[in-house]
Chains A and B, each alone.
Chain A
Amino acid sequence: MPFVQKSQGIAAYRHSAAGQLDIAGGLDVCYTATPSAPVEPAPETPCLNLSLRQNRQQLSRLHVSEQQEVYPGMLLAEGEQTHLYCPCSGVVQVMNPDKRKRPGNIEIIPAEEPSDAPIISLEENAPLAAKRQFVRQMGVWDSIRQGMLMAPPALDDQPNEIIVRCVFAEPGQIPGSMVIRRHLQEFIRGLKYLYEIGGSYAPIVMTVPVQSGSLGRQIREQLRGQAFVHISVVPIRYPVENPLLLATLLGRERGLGPDHFWVVDPQTVIAMTCAMEKKQFWSHRYVAIAGPAVRQPVILSARLGAPVGELTKPYLRDDVAETPAFIRGGLYSGKRAVPEEGLRYGDYAVWVIPETEGPELLGWMHPGHERPSWTRTVLSGLLGKRTFQARTLLRGAKRPCIGCGFCRQVCPAGLYPHQLHRLVTHDCMEEAEQLGLLNCVECYCCSYGCVSKLELAQDIIHARRALLHQEAKGL
């Protein structure tokens, strides 16, 4: 029986007998409300709130001013690599570029009548650079991720490989299958355009779940004879969608240099088709609205910058009295958001969770049939229950680290988060780097499982980004 454990690269992973890849570590706890509902149009929002911080970059060069009329596809602001295009026609209401005031943003009041946007054309045999520029103007390029940096690639970038990740294991994320099923033909054609845009004959690798069912068969049939697309089977286990982890699972090199890959989501592939064929600007994207404060999970077709509070308002339960907690992104890696905050690049989900109220009497004695744990000290572990209700509760008092090793056991990158945390909080960055600080995949599993309720991931990620930033500057 072939059983290979590789510890090189990011994840310690093994090939099971069936030839599938399995993550060592990671979490497989599911929360309710992974949406499977039909797609609905997003509720009309009185304004769009476009953040000037996208893809972890500050967009410092502004191209519009207050009271200026804008049209879809107009360049609003740009940063080092990221560009922000206007998703609708309207008027710029407020400009608040000061990044010290949160959120630094551009507010746009959408016009009732869409204004005429200048038509951008693309010739049939245009050179690669022109095609890429066109894709950028259509708002698609900035959703492509360059593996290591998690930022859009430069226009002259040459990837070695393009990974289309169709498996999302994080609770609440839109299943790739749902998007592909709705737009199967566009998706298949989009892969060809992606191959064209990628240039330099970079092959495309598609990840599919272990049991992909009829959709998997359809995709395979459609792709028959297309040698540039490879299909790779991955487990549905968080954080399998993480680009760094994915690259290692697929056995690829990862680096900052020219030897690297792109990561593309199914929605981007479909938007690519719309851009190339219909010359259509990518204004609406699918966003899942989920969480215990929502009556029923839905998928909305919403604009970039739509405020999360307005988006979720019609779907909130009546008994959620106070302002609930909004999370942009998935349940583990998502960020807390104020209701006015708009959707950003890469936000494919908004979670709404009721805020925790009041203390819980003898909470640590609770049998735990409805709360999840990585350990089996709760009843749900005994009952084999898999779905739980999310709450914004720390579930315990903060204590010093006892070295229980739970963070180590769930870390998909095979790191020792408690040691890293100790080092970064004492500012020992060199030792932390020796222990693989840069290999952290930012999945937040360690914080989730910490018995002492320490903010392990928060501090480690902060230090890691500072280190990456420092290196990028060449200091």
Chain B
Amino acid sequence: MRAMKLHEWFERADKWFEGEQAPLRSLYPVYEAVGAFFFVPPVRTLHGPLIRDAVDIKRYMIAVVLALLPAYLFGLAAFGPRLIVMTIVSYAVGGLVEALFAIFRKEEINEGFLVTGLLFPMILPPQTPLWIVAVGIAFGVFFGKEVFGGTGHNIFNPALVGRCFVALSWPAHLARSYIKPLGWIDAFTSRGLTALVDSPIQAVTAATPLNDLNTAMRQGQALSFFSPQTDQLYLGWTAGSVCETAAWLILPAGLWLCWTRVSNWRTPAAVIGSYIALGAVLSFFRPVQFVSPALGLAAGGLLFAAFYMATDPVTSPVSNRGKLIYGCGIGALVVVFRGLGAIPEGVTYAVLLMNMAAPLLDRYMILSSVPATLPRKEIPREANA
């Protein structure tokens, strides 16, 4: 009954938004998004097949959000409720940009934003100032997606474009935003609820494990294959971006996502496989420069990127072989960036660089995999005239 009343309410609101003469027609995308959220439109199929698969974009994106939840909850426990505030800011600002563009272009609001808006705060340091979150997501959605023509046309992963932008613009702010697990309790006891929105305090900041490893290796220490740090890394009890640390949660959730077929297993398998293979070889020969893959896999955002960033359907290749090459490229680039780069972490740049290669990979893979076209009679050129 209540559902029907809600529907009647929507039907009554129709005349305000739909049609040429409707007074609020410019807000139609927002109205459509809200309506489609509550009600699956009763659209009948007119063309074959008259039956359709139960999955739509919303369900597809919600599956990704569900797979992100374990890591999100862990991040909440380890790095504090500030994550919720960051998420609200990200959804609000990013959603505003998305809605404005939809109204401007007179198109529907796309559900892909459900994932982007959640992913972005998850890959930031826990104490990132809120204004950076807002600027980052606005930049990511605008320059990462909308300027290309909206969802489905973008080349780069919007969340990573935002992350890349804030990392390049305010490196010092981000560097002092990392805290130790449960460090948020200190912040709350000293400052109360203002710690939810305040910028970080120096007292609780910590270095990420990749920073530690980098410093250790600069000092000439060769790290053994299994150091005492390994188990802590896999449990996620280290400093890092909010939700990238818990390897033991990301791995099963990501595998579940592959099992549901929402993300293709080839991409994460190729990323992890190539990282382990190349990392093992290089760290064997140059242990003072390259981290052993047993440590490097769980440190930083590699696993998170492999399962949630690289598998983004829009920015990754469609062909199966393309996915494998794309994944291998990411894994190899991460090894190179981490071992030879000036910064300890390079996953963001690796994924963004391979995003650029994805259309090209697809083009070659599709053309090479298409079976020879049907034998046809040669038509003499004169016949055309």
Contacts and interface: CB of A to CB of B under 8 A. Distances in A.
B42 A451 contact: no
B269 to A, nearest CB: 15
A9 B371 contact: yes
B379 interface: yes
Contacts of A290: none
Interface in B38-92: 38-60, 62-63
A394 B45 contact: yes
B379 to A, nearest CB: 6
B56 A397 contact: yes
A198 interface: no
Interface in B256-297: 259-262, 264
Report the contact-size class of chain A (Cβ under 8 Å from the partner). 35 or more
B151 A416 contact: no
B318 interface: yes
A153 interface: no
A438 B371 CA distance: 11
B12 interface: no
Given A435-B367, A447-B49, A402 B56 contact: no
Given A392-B50, A475-B384, A402 B57 contact: yes
Interface string A327-348: 1000111111000000000000
A101 to B, nearest CB: 20
Contact of A392 (B51, B110, B314): B51
A40 B63 CA distance: 47
A206 B153 CA distance: 47
Tell me which of B39, B151, B314 has the highest count of chain A C-beta atoms within 10 A of its own C-beta.
B39
B44 A416 contact: no
B377 A256 contact: yes
B373 interface: yes
A361 B57 contact: no
A434 B259 CA distance: 33
A451 B54 CA distance: 9
A408 B375 CA distance: 24
The CB with the most chain B CB atoms within 10 A, among A400, A401, A419, is that of A400
B124 to A, nearest CB: 25
Contacts of A333: 48-49
Interface string A192-233: 000000000000000000000000000000000000000000
B369 A418 contact: no
A325 B376 contact: no
By size class, the interface of chain B is 35 or more
A374 B53 contact: yes
Given A10-B371, A401-B152, A331 B51 contact: yes
B18 to A, nearest CB: 14
Contacts of B50: 325, 327, 331, 334, 336, 351, 353, 390, 392
B36 interface: yes
Nearest to B375: A255
B54 A373 contact: yes
Interface string B4-45: 001100000000000000000000000010001011111111
A395 B367 contact: no
B42 to A, nearest CB: 5
Nearest to A357: B42
Contact of B369 (A7, A256, A335, A366): A7
Interface string B123-159: 0000000000000000000000000001111000000
A453 interface: yes
A363 B39 contact: yes
A355 B6 CA distance: 22
Contacts of A331: 49-51
A402 B151 contact: yes
A403 B370 contact: no
A404 B376 contact: no
Contact of A405 (B36, B44, B51, B264): B264
Contacts of B150: 400
A257 B378 CA distance: 11
Given A395-B52, A439-B374, A400 B47 contact: no
B54 A371 contact: yes
Contact of A451 (B56, B371, B376, B383): B56
Interface in A121-135: none
B260 to A, nearest CB: 4
A46 B371 CA distance: 50
Given A392-B45, A397-B56, A405 B313 contact: yes
A355 to B, nearest CB: 6
A377 B48 contact: no
A451 B57 contact: yes
A408 B319 contact: yes
Interface in B150-170: 150-153
Contacts of B367: 434-435
Interface in A340-394: 351, 353, 355-366, 368, 371-378, 381, 390-394
A449 interface: yes
B183 interface: no
B32 to A, nearest CB: 8
B53 A399 contact: no
Nearest to A404: B313
Contacts of B110: 399-400
A332 B313 contact: no
Given A334-B48, A374-B261, A395-B53, A404 B369 contact: no
A362 B38 CA distance: 5
A418 B58 CA distance: 19
Given A373-B55, A400-B151, A474-B379, A8 B318 contact: no
A336 B372 CA distance: 34
B49 A332 contact: yes
A438 B260 contact: no
A450 interface: yes
A80 interface: no
A376 B260 contact: yes
Nearest to B368: A7
A390 to B, nearest CB: 5
Contacts of B318: 403, 405, 408, 416, 418-419
Interface of A: 7-10, 31, 148, 253-257, 325, 327, 331-336, 351, 353, 355-366, 368, 371-378, 381, 390-406, 408-409, 414-416, 418-419, 433-436, 438-439, 444, 447-453, 455, 457-458, 471, 474-475
29 contacts: A327-B50, A356-B44, A365-B62, A374-B53, A374-B261, A378-B55, A393-B40, A395-B55, A396-B41, A396-B58, A397-B40, A397-B56, A397-B57, A397-B108, A400-B151, A403-B152, A405-B313, A414-B371, A416-B370, A418-B318, A435-B370, A436-B370, A436-B371, A438-B373, A449-B53, A451-B53, A451-B57, A452-B152, A458-B48
When A and B form their complex, which 3 residue pairs have the shortest distance between CB atoms, in order from nearest? A396-B56, A363-B40, A359-B39
Given A398-B108, A436-B370, A447-B48, 6 more contacts: A363-B39, A364-B58, A376-B261, A414-B369, A416-B319, A434-B367
